[in-house]
A = this chain, B = another copy of it.
């Protein structure tokens, strides 16, 4: 079984909280400290919470271990202090987000397999882990969820999760399978943005 170092998991939470806090700045009505923190919190823990509730796993990570809440707090504070600098680093932010969804996808897929879920459902739950925080955030903001708007996003998660499941099925070492899956998510997502890839639309 893959044991992801705790600091990698916390880094994912930290980066998602930072990106959530920065997103809240786009909507001026959310610019008090509570609004920013609430959006950051939902973005950071939404996906994993939905996944664990669907799997019936308790306690939820952020409820059982206070370090998740501290990581969110750190992400919010750094985002608020360094927002001018961070918002200029669009390429860096894209990479942070891609790393975040890559980590969450594989963590979620792996956690689902460990709970004896069938591989197809595990891939879907891995994708949910990565994207659902953003879906709830966008729904609360009355925006069309990002996963429906952007260049290939959730599909990158499905691709990485599928690769991970496939490699594990052929008994490839768990760490290698995880790194390959995470790398595929990041690569597809980053290339999709730079090449403006999107899935083909269907006609009438």
Q: List B contacts of A25 (CB < 8 A).
A: 202, 204
State A25–B53 Cα separation when bound (angstroms): 30
How many chain copies? 3
For window 51-102 of chain A, which residues contact chain B by CB distance below 8 Å?
53-56, 58-60, 62-64, 66, 69, 80, 84
State A187–B22 Cα separation when bound (angstroms): 32
Interface SS majority for chain A: helix
State A63–B69 Cα separation when bound (angstroms): 29
Q: Quick one: which of A59, A201, A202 has the most chain B CB within 10 A?
A: A202
Query: Considering only CB atoms, which chain B residue lies closest to A198 in the complex?
Result: B32
Residue A154 lies at the interface, judged by CB distance under 8 Å to chain B: yes
A interface with B by C-beta (< 8 Å): 25, 28-36, 38, 41, 49, 53-56, 58-60, 62-64, 66, 69, 80, 84, 117-118, 120-121, 124-125, 135, 139-140, 142, 144-145, 147-149, 154-155, 158, 198-202, 204
